[in-house]
Amino acid sequence: MLKKLLGIAPQQEADGSYAPSRLALKLGTVDKSDFDNPSYTKYQGKRSKILVIFTEEKNMKMKNGKLFSTGNHPIEALLPMLHLRNAGFDFEIATPTGKPVVFEMWAFPEKDSHVNNIYKQLKSQLEKPLSLADFISSSFHDVDAYAAVFIPGGHGAMIGIPEDKNVGKILNWAHENELFTISLCHGPGAFLATTLDDHPFLYEGYEMAVFPDSVDKQTPMIGYLPGHMPWELSEVLKKLGAKVVNKKSDDTVCRDRKLITGASPLASNNLGKLAAKTLLAELN
């Protein structure tokens, strides 16, 4: 009751899961992003496609058994996509089994016209995405049409995707064919899929920006999470040989070879700009 009065109690949803508390939403979300809409000379080549792997999962079970209402973070997904679209790239949207994309709608920037517009433009694809198996069977042979694979963040990226063999196949396909891989925040959880079936970690020795475990450990105190995380993403990546370059949930972005990463929602705009400029410079 005291937590409710103070606004730090996670808010229960109809399915029994918990969205962040009123205080956490006030501190951790915005109604307008920092998208600065730079102009780009649009890409005109044939490698214009970007595969975007979204989650189809909504609820993450915490250590205490409570379910966190999650999905992909809308700003972490749509801001980089705004930059990439404005730079001349198109998207193929996929989820593991082809179920609709799930967003953390409690984090949607309602007053942001740019984010709202691209969300509306992509809505039909978000509601009826490809499955990863369909993408592999239909598009692996057409690698010359692709520039990158993008995996948005949000805690939902840590559910199912790290254990999905098709994700591992796609990341290896991108790596072997020198496509870029782009991700941020909790999205790098997908990289764990490259270790399935005892394969070596694809990104051993790579520098990358990832959401810090230290922040995830603190957020239950203000009701952002309804309990402590089931596992620690940064720590797992470090043990596999990744070099995490950030200690804060800030706007850090990082490029190492064909891997482009960002630290948190605050990095979404910088990540989009870095990805767009890098692809234009490399592909033109």
Residues with catalytic function: 185
Find tokens 């966190």 and name the residue: 68
| Residue among 232, 194, 197 nearest 215 (CA) | 232
Separation between Cα atoms, residue 54 and residue 152, nearest integer Å: 7
Contact of 71 with 104, CB cutoff 8 Å: yes
| Residue among 148, 34, 129, 11 nearest 84 (CA) | 148
Separation between Cα atoms, residue 239 and residue 227, nearest integer Å: 24
Helix axes 74-86, 268-283, angle to 10 degrees: 30
Instruction: Please state whether 39 falls in left (phi above 0), alpha (psi between -120 and 50) or beta.
Output: beta
Going by the DSSP 8-state scheme, the letter that residue 202 receives in this structure is T
Contact of 50 with 150, CB cutoff 8 Å: yes
| Residue among 31, 32, 37 nearest 272 (CA) | 37
Paired tokens of 179: 């496509």
CA 207 vs. chain centroid, Å, equals 17
| Residue among 133, 142, 159 nearest 54 (CA) | 159
Paired tokens of 190: 């997908």
What is the number of H-type helices and E-type strands within the chain? Answer: 9, 13
